[in-house]
Amino acid sequence: MHPNADVLQGTLDLLILKAVSLESMHGWGISQRIQQFSSGVLEVNQGSLYPALHRLVKRKWLEASWGTSENNRRARFYKLTALGRRQLASETDTWRRFSAAVEAVLAVTAAVN
């Protein structure tokens, strides 16, 4: 396992964990939520969303169960586990440090220009 091996993967995981941290949601809901939260900037590639969801379930950061959607369809809902909550906290922290570092670098570059 390489938790920080990949920016894309790490970021998508973080976004998913964040999206389901408030309430349990189905896959489509998660993709809509991420899009809303980011004011439409981050569009989740639906092709990578479901593999990511299954992977997170496998890692026991999410729990999946079948339920009924808002329009009365059968849907698979994902819920954050305790392990997932801890992971969310630590990834949020890592991300903040990372983006701060990038910000700092960009600021320096701007000064040189």
Summarize as ranges the residues that interact with another protein (CB under 8 A): 2, 5-9, 26-28, 46-48, 50-52, 54-55, 58, 69, 71, 73-76
Least Cβ distance, residue 60 to another protein (angstroms): 10
Least Cβ distance, residue 52 to another protein (angstroms): 7
Q: How many CB atoms lie within 10 A of CB 57?
A: 16
Hey, what amino acid is at 7? Answer: V
Least Cβ distance, residue 63 to another protein (angstroms): 12
Least Cβ distance, residue 106 to another protein (angstroms): 16
Residues in Cβ contact with 80 at an 8 Å cutoff, skipping those fewer than 6 apart: 17, 20, 21, 24, 61, 62, 63, 88
Find out whether 54 and 109 touch, Cβ atoms under 8 Å.
no
For another protein, the closer CB: 65 or 111: 65
For another protein, the closer CB: 37 or 50: 50
Helix (H, G, I), strand (E, B) or coil at 74: strand
